[in-house]
Amino acid sequence: MKICLAQLNYHIGDFEGNRNKILNAIQEAKAASAQLVVFSELAVCGYPPEDLLDYPWFVEACMNSVLEIAAACQGISCVVGSVSLNEGKGRSLFNSAYLLEGGKIAAVQHKSLLPTYDVFHEARYFEPAPSVQPIQIAGLNAGVLICEDLWDHYNDFSYARVPMADLHARGAKLLINPSASPFQNGKEQKRKEVLQDNARRFQMPIVYVNQVGAHAELIFDGNSMVVDADGKVVLELPRFRETLAYFRLDEQGANITQEAPLEHEDELQILEEALVFGIREYCEKNGFSNIVLGSSGGIDSAVVQALACKALGPQKVQALLMPSAFSSEGSVHDAVSLAENLGNPYIVMPITGVYESFLTALKPSFGNLPFDLTEENLQARIRGQLLMSWSNKFGHLLLNTSNKSEMAVGYSTLYGDLCGGLSPLGDVFKTRVYALAHFLNRERVQIPEAILTKEPSAELRPGQKDSDSLPPYEVLDAILEQYIESRLGSVAIINSGFDAAIVNKVLRLVNRNEYKRFQAPPILRVSGKAFGGGRKMPLVARYV
């Protein structure tokens, strides 16, 4: 049997666009003499549809699309993900995979294990499958399990059910796994291990088809693959790119025509690809053709600017340089050099006059009170207003330039440098930003050396340095990674070798700045625990 893996990029709620992609892939697979084409989880509506599933018209549109796709399945079978109605007790919907052939729905298999952790909320909408059964595809006894159904004991917990064991006991010879598995650092290797282990455990080849595309914070990398019964990866599709690929399987589901898997790439290369892809997807799917950002001459804005230029092209990235009386001449020069290296337009827009006018307006109220954080934040908010005005006037997407370290400890200003429609680096620690900057310079100098070597500073008061308020970033990031991503408490972090006073200070900063992150822009998720939808913390709480 010749099988086609259809790794496609869907747009949530765009039923016509998604349906046309699926129908075109079916015709192409049919022309290539494939007998089966496999699509990803909830391909018909896009994943994750979230509360759109609460609208009856949305569910009806899903059902109608499935019927239209089924009508095109003449002389070829297809497995495609969509929702289906639950006529019994429990949630009103199932997350389902449909087998379509002969112009109609031949079989439906529902998802058994519903992820409800981090960014996943499937138990909010779906009822788990009561059972799993093999289905006949081109004379082969095959099983269909959806995404999480293969992860029965590979998370921080184990599920009570093992759906693949049930299929194996019922004689399945091939496993098809339509998925919507988002990207994160290291996830590619983890997925591969899960697929290989399942294949070996149950001596069954696995066809894994993941979607590609980004939906705000979630980036889907594709990287679909086929694993034989011995756990060998025999076909691997590229990351971040729509692709149709084919392989052959014998009638017993035992032998697979060999293909070469992808070569391993550097982790920073994959991170760069993910961030560039996430920026491009967010712009395209939300109708933005241009980007604006504040360029300070610092490392974070420089990396965002370089990524944006790669995503949309330099001529579509507008940089605003907004020096104040506290900005060093070197920072302005570095920001200009960066724009010239990248080839994107820039404008120097000094804020000293605006800042002085604000101080004059506030003088009657402030009197002789000393300069403090208020005046520092005022500069950041003026810059935010100018950037938002440019965004409004010209329709550019404003990119936020904060990194994960700053967001964690609140080293940012609400309605100032936290402004933006998307945060590309909000899930990248400061030390990682530096590593990414050096990687971006691997072939030619994009980011000037001065930006890479200068001591970090917000330049909001004379002589200010980040180190005045924060521990060295190597120490800070290591503590933050243990607290946020590994979810260790203060005692465990201190016992791992960090100074108790520093740990307690950092954790207090993280906890008391939750309100800022609550109002931050969407963050491209590239780690196992990003700020945003995957980390829900109370705004009113007292904890250490």
Kindly tell me if the per-residue pLDDT of 3 is higher than 60: yes
Residue (of 537, 471, 536, 533) closest to 506 by Cα position: 471
Kindly tell me if the per-residue pLDDT of 43 is higher than 80: yes
pLDDT-based confidence at residue 265 (cuts at 50, 70, 90):
confident
Are the beta carbons of 383 and 323 closer than 8 angstroms? no
What's the pLDDT score for residue 464? 76
Last residue of one domain, picked from the residues 464, 484, 499:
464
Q: Check whether residue 245 and residue 277 sit in a common domain.
A: no
pTM of the model: 0.95
Q: Check whether residue 44 and residue 176 sit in a common domain.
A: yes
In a domain, 508, yes or no: no
Half-sphere exposure of 206 (CA within 13 A, CB side): 35
In a domain, 451, yes or no: yes
pLDDT-based confidence at residue 257 (cuts at 50, 70, 90):
low
pLDDT-based confidence at residue 139 (cuts at 50, 70, 90):
confident
Cα–Cα distance for residue pair 500/490, rounded to 1 Å = 8
Domain count, the chain: 2
What's the pLDDT score for residue 541? 86
**CATH number where 319 lies:** 3.40.50.620
Which pLDDT tens digit goes with each residue over 472-504? 999 999 999 999 999 999 999 999 999 999 999
Residues known to be catalytic: 41, 111, 147
Last residue of one domain, picked from the residues 255, 284, 313:
255
Q: Check whether residue 420 and residue 452 sit in a common domain.
A: yes
Cα–Cα distance for residue pair 137/32, rounded to 1 Å = 18
In a domain, 400, yes or no: yes
Q: What is the mean pLDDT of the chain?
A: 94
Q: Check whether residue 202 and residue 288 sit in a common domain.
A: no
Last residue of one domain, picked from the residues 410, 434, 464:
464
Q: Check whether residue 277 and residue 241 sit in a common domain.
A: no
In a domain, 473, yes or no: no
In a domain, 109, yes or no: yes
What's the pLDDT score for residue 261? 52
Which pLDDT tens digit goes with each residue over 198-255? 999 999 999 999 999 999 999 999 999 999 999 999 999 999 999 999 999 876 554 5
Q: Check whether residue 289 and residue 429 sit in a common domain.
A: yes
Q: Check whether residue 204 and residue 285 sit in a common domain.
A: no
In a domain, 454, yes or no: yes
Q: Check whether residue 249 and residue 361 sit in a common domain.
A: no
Q: Is 89 left (phi over 0), alpha (psi -120 to 50) or beta?
A: beta
Q: Check whether residue 362 and residue 219 sit in a common domain.
A: no
Q: Which helix (H) or strand (E) holds 366?
A: helix 352-366
**Which pair of tokens denotes residue 214?**
């980004």
Q: Check whether residue 286 and residue 231 sit in a common domain.
A: no
Kindly tell me if the per-residue pLDDT of 280 is higher than 60: yes
**CATH number where 17 lies:** 3.60.110.10
- One DSSP character per residue, 233-262 reads EEEEPPBTS-EEEEEEB-TTS--B---PPP
Q: Check whether residue 288 and residue 202 sit in a common domain.
A: no
Kindly tell me if the per-residue pLDDT of 308 is higher than 80: yes
Q: Check whether residue 246 and residue 148 sit in a common domain.
A: yes
Q: Domain range spanning residue 403?
A: 269-464
What's the pLDDT score for residue 501? 97
How does strand 291-294 pair with strand 317-321? parallel
Are the beta carbons of 42 and 49 closer than 8 angstroms? yes
Kindly tell me if the per-residue pLDDT of 171 is higher than 90: yes
Which pLDDT tens digit goes with each residue over 114-137? 999 999 999 999 999 999 999 999
231 - beta bridge partners? none
Which residues, 6 or more positions from 523, have their beta carbon under 8 angstroms from its beta carbon? 217, 407, 423, 426, 427, 530, 531, 532
